[in-house]
Amino acid sequence: MTGHPGDASRLPPAIEATGLRRVYDLKPKPVVALESVDLEVAPGEFFGLLGPNGAGKTTLIKILTTLLLPSAGSARIFGFDVATETRRIRRIMNMVAGGEQSGYGILTVREQLWMFSQFYGLGTREGWRRVDGLIEAVGLDEQRLQRVSTLSTGQRQKMNMARGLLNDPWILFLDEPTLGLDVSAARGIREQVLAWKAEIPGRTVLLTTHYMAEADELCERIAIVDRGRILAIGSPAELKRRVQRDSIFRLEVDRLDGGPAALARLPGVVSAAFASNAAPDAQHVTVNLALREDAALGGVVTALAGMHSQIRSLGKSEPTLEDVFVKLVGRGLADAVDDSTPMPRSDADDDVAAAHAQAHDPETNG
Amino acid sequence: MSTAAVPNPPGGSLTPAQRRLAADPRITADWTRRQTAETNLRALVGRAYPRVRGMFREPSWVIFEILLPFLGTSAYVMVYRALKAPEEYVGFVVLGGALSAFWLNVVWSMAGQLYWEKSQGNLELYFAAPMSLMSVLLGMAAGGLAMSSTRAAAVLVISASVFGVQFDVQEWWLVGVVFLLTLTALYGLGMMMASLFLLWGREAWHLTNVMVEPVYFVSGLNFPVGRLGAIGVAAIATIPFAVGLDAMRQLAFPHSDLLVGTPPPGIEALILVAMTVVFTGASRWCMTTIERMARSRGSLSIRWQ
């Protein structure tokens, strides 16, 4: 078997999922977290899964990383079956989740990474060399000998990223990797992933996020997921073209009785949703509006006056992924199902926690 | 960090590093048996590392792991001497105090460890890595052994010197064999318990409490277990700590007429062999079962389940 660095076209799909379904056997009734998911990701692709908490993103990642079995359907990673060829898949993949607290606080950053390198079979010296290289690459030089327990959130996530790259994975699963990070730290993580991916053709990344801008910046293709189903797949540009026929406005008001739903009912309004990056507070409410035509704006302004809402700002904007999401899902990320169950929060648990909440919701259960 | 893909030599054999950087993931994923075995061994060392490192990094363990147990042992020595009990009893207590380090380590640092790893998010990463989970368990055991051995040796040496205990060992080789078998049986049980605790979740913590004082009592921590009659025999048949301790006492005090009602050390060594096989096999079976259940139920990474 011969190969050429840079020739990724002869490789099998990095991800190939057919009819994937996953049901959690929760009480009082089972909850469907994934339903009929078909997906193909090419080797070398940067692919994003975009959706709210509980959409099924993490369940999909867990199936693809061999941590969870599908209830029905099949999935392959570079040709290896996730149900039966787990060992082979684990040799070529790695994963990093946002807010990850893995490892042992008593170790230094360098020691912790070396420990994980041993789990992937790197030689002792090779492991130390690789660890030192990655520490430098992620910008943790100053924290090299610092105990893990003393790292800040951003530093910790940089270390987690280094851990995820220890075995030079062919496919890297990133589950909300910038969750809770400040702008600068999040940018650092994104740049690092892009740089790593660019080193060798064929390296593939599957990213889940609910940060629209992040998905837009990083992903070559995106799947919009909600309630366990893939609603649309395409490049960011392709997805945005779906809403280009509509007039998109960003509206800021001092109050909005009845929420965006009150606007969505108005004639000529295609959709209305809270802007995900500007959650409502006591002072103002920001809403993304999609109108069939600009003329419908007059009706919106009149209705707002009737609701005693004072307009702070109003501007026409280019379609964003958020507009695509609102159009497809019928609500914004900020309005989407969230799990407010009193459980220890972990983003990795979102699908099940949200499913759990759904199962206990009297409305869902009738 | 810079890495470059290595062209694959046609039909050639690749080193693990070359395989990792091969230009085809199917080659990267295709490990030899040797590579798999090496990875498992490295994972064992890797998992033992935090325990050994922590021992040196947090010296407070000297107080909690050596000084306090020594005080506990001293109290029993004082009681026996006040009662003018035969001097062998002091030796029994000192041996019990030394060996209890291993039992405590098994109960507190082995049994609950996987449950703790799950709550930290480590367990998911262990499952997602290519090594065998038995390597993780063995690594935990090896690291725990290093720590407990230090404590046991310290308690033994200090107590023996302070209280002037005279051991009359005549079969050193058998002492060595019994000691090693006791450890393998104990940590085999610890690995099995770690899996079971993971399976049972929070309720397992109650079990931990049950496994300290009651086990000390039925194992004869501070007195010869044979004095318990049928209960002592039952303990010898089921608890590695009980059988190992009794065998060590018999070997350290071969002429004592206080150690009655239990099998000779040779037989107890065989019991330890059987325990090692059963507990290690059971822990392996448990881990496989747990992984299968976790993948099917989705409970592996759900912290609140």
List the domain boundaries for chain A.
15-227, 247-335
Any chain B CB within 8 A of the CB of A180?
no
- Asked if residue B302 belongs to a domain, the reply is no
pLDDT at B203: 66
CB A32, CB A23: distance < 8 Å: yes
* Higher-pLDDT residue of A342, A167: A167
Query: What long-range pairs does A86-89 form, CB within 8 A, spacing at least 24?
Result: A87/B130, A88/B29, A88/B30, A89/A65, A89/B29
Residue burial A13-22, b: 16+ Cβ < 10 Å; e: rest? bbbbbeebbb
pLDDT at A346: 37
- For B304, the closest of A101, A114, A344 (CB atoms) is A344
- For A3, the closest of B7, B45, B47 (CB atoms) is B7
Q: Does the structure show a pLDDT above 90 at A16?
A: yes
- Asked if residue B289 belongs to a domain, the reply is yes
The values of phi and psi at residue A11, to 5°, are -80, 155
- Per CB-CB distance under 8 Å, the chain B contacts of A79 are 26
CA distance A147 to A89: 32
Q: Which H or E run contains A346?
A: none
Per-residue confidence band for A326, with pLDDT thresholds at 50, 70 and 90: confident
Per-residue confidence band for B204, with pLDDT thresholds at 50, 70 and 90: low
B90 SS3 class = helix
**% of chain B with per-residue pLDDT over 70:** 91
Are B29 and A91 an interchain contact pair (Cβ–Cβ within 8 Å)? yes
Range scoring the smallest mean pLDDT among A70-79, B54-63, B261-270: B54-63
- B281 shares its domain with B211: yes
Per-residue confidence band for A364, with pLDDT thresholds at 50, 70 and 90: very low
- B46 shares its domain with B164: yes
- Per CB-CB distance under 8 Å, the chain B contacts of A22 are 298
CB A354, CB A226: distance < 8 Å: no
At B38-92, the pLDDT tens digits run 999 999 999 999 989 988 887 777 777 778 888 888 999 999 999 999 888 999 9
- Asked if residue B133 belongs to a domain, the reply is yes
Identify the CA nearest to A212 among candidates A100, A49, A331: A49
Q: Which residue has the tokens 């490192």?
A: B53
Residue A93 Cα, gap to closest chain B Cα (Å): 9
- Asked if residue B49 belongs to a domain, the reply is yes
A96 SS3 class = strand
CA distance B28 to A356: 39
Q: Could you list the beta-strand ranges (E) of A210-310.
A: 221-226, 229-234, 247-253, 269-274, 285-291
- B71 shares its domain with B6: no
pLDDT at A206: 97
- B7 shares its domain with B102: no
CA distance B80 to B90: 7
Give the mean model confidence (pLDDT) for residues A230-259. Answer: 85
Q: Does the structure show a pLDDT above 70 at A3?
A: no
Any chain B CB within 8 A of the CB of A141?
no
DSSP state of A275: -
Give Cα B260 distance to the centre of its chain.
Answer: 28
* Higher-pLDDT residue of A64, B19: A64
DSSP state of B24: S
Interface of A with B in 8-67 (CB under 8 A): 11-12, 22, 24-25, 43, 59, 62, 65-67
CA distance A322 to A318: 11
Range scoring the smallest mean pLDDT among A30-34, A137-141, A216-220, B106-110: B106-110
- Asked if residue B303 belongs to a domain, the reply is no
- Asked if residue B305 belongs to a domain, the reply is no
Identify the CA nearest to A361 among candidates A343, A345, A341: A341
Q: Do domains A15-227 and A247-335 have the same CATH topology?
A: no
Q: Do the strands A15-24 and A221-226 form a parallel or antiparallel pair, or are they unpaired?
A: unpaired
Give the mean model confidence (pLDDT) for residues A56-85. Answer: 94
Q: Does the structure show a pLDDT above 90 at A141?
A: yes
Are A2 and B297 an interchain contact pair (Cβ–Cβ within 8 Å)? no
A94 SS3 class = strand
Going by C-beta distance under 8 Å and a sequence separation of 6 or more, which residues neighbour residue A294? A247, A316
Going by C-beta distance under 8 Å and a sequence separation of 6 or more, which residues neighbour residue B59? none
Give the mean model confidence (pLDDT) for residues B126-137. Answer: 92
- B153 shares its domain with B22: no
At B248-257, the pLDDT tens digits run 999 999 888 8
A284 SS3 class = coil
Are A62 and B301 an interchain contact pair (Cβ–Cβ within 8 Å)? yes
CATH of domain A247-335: 3.30.70
* Environment class of B97 (CB within 10 Å of its CB; exposed 0-12, middle 13-18, buried 19+): buried
- Per CB-CB distance under 8 Å, the chain B contacts of A43 are 25
- Per CB-CB distance under 8 Å, the chain B contacts of A140 are none
Please state, as a whole number, how many other Cβ atoms lie within 10 Å of the Cβ of residue A194.
13
Give Cα B166 distance to the centre of its chain.
Answer: 28
Per-residue confidence band for A172, with pLDDT thresholds at 50, 70 and 90: very high
Any chain B CB within 8 A of the CB of A303?
no
- Asked if residue B304 belongs to a domain, the reply is no
Cα atoms in the Cβ-side hemisphere of radius 13 Å centred on A67 = 25
- B181 shares its domain with B231: yes
pLDDT at A332: 66
Any chain A CB within 8 A of the CB of B201?
no
One-letter amino acid of A247? S
- For A69, the closest of B26, B129, B296 (CB atoms) is B296
Q: Does the structure show a pLDDT above 60 at A92?
A: yes
CB B135, CB B41: distance < 8 Å: yes
* Higher-pLDDT residue of A294, A66: A66
Q: Does the structure show a pLDDT above 60 at A180?
A: yes
**% of chain A with per-residue pLDDT over 90:** 44
* Higher-pLDDT residue of A32, A52: A32
Looking at the structure of chain B, the number of domains it has is 2
Give the Å distances, CA to CA, from B76 to A298, B147, B216, B247, B269: 90, 24, 14, 21, 28
- B191 shares its domain with B165: yes
Any chain B CB within 8 A of the CB of A106?
yes
CA distance B39 to A120: 6
A252 SS3 class = strand
Q: How many angstroms separate the most distant Cα atoms in chain A? A: 73
- B282 shares its domain with B202: yes
Any chain B CB within 8 A of the CB of A87?
yes
Residue A328 Cα, gap to closest chain B Cα (Å): 29
Give the Å distances, CA to CA, from B109 to A49, B41, B208: 39, 21, 11
Q: Does the structure show a pLDDT above 70 at A60?
A: yes
Per-residue confidence band for B11, with pLDDT thresholds at 50, 70 and 90: very low
Range scoring the smallest mean pLDDT among A35-44, B10-19, B118-127: B10-19
- B98 shares its domain with B219: yes
Please state, as a whole number, how many other Cβ atoms lie within 10 Å of the Cβ of residue A155.
19
Are A123 and B3 an interchain contact pair (Cβ–Cβ within 8 Å)? no
Are B130 and A87 an interchain contact pair (Cβ–Cβ within 8 Å)? yes
Are A87 and B296 an interchain contact pair (Cβ–Cβ within 8 Å)? no
- Asked if residue B143 belongs to a domain, the reply is yes
pLDDT at A235: 93
- Per CB-CB distance under 8 Å, the chain B contacts of A72 are none
- B183 shares its domain with B290: yes
Q: At what angle do helices B68-82 and B133-163 cross, to 10 degrees?
A: 40
CA distance B293 to B288: 9
Identify the CA nearest to A75 among candidates A87, A89, A93: A89
pLDDT at A347: 37
Facing residues of B169 across strands? none
Domain that holds residue B153: 36-297
**ipTM greater than 0.85, yes or no?**
no
CA distance A134 to A112: 12
Are A2 and B10 an interchain contact pair (Cβ–Cβ within 8 Å)? yes
- B46 shares its domain with B6: no
Are A119 and B129 an interchain contact pair (Cβ–Cβ within 8 Å)? yes
pLDDT at A197: 92
- B212 shares its domain with B284: yes
Any chain B CB within 8 A of the CB of A199?
yes
Could you confirm whether domain A15-227 is CATH 3.40.50.300? yes
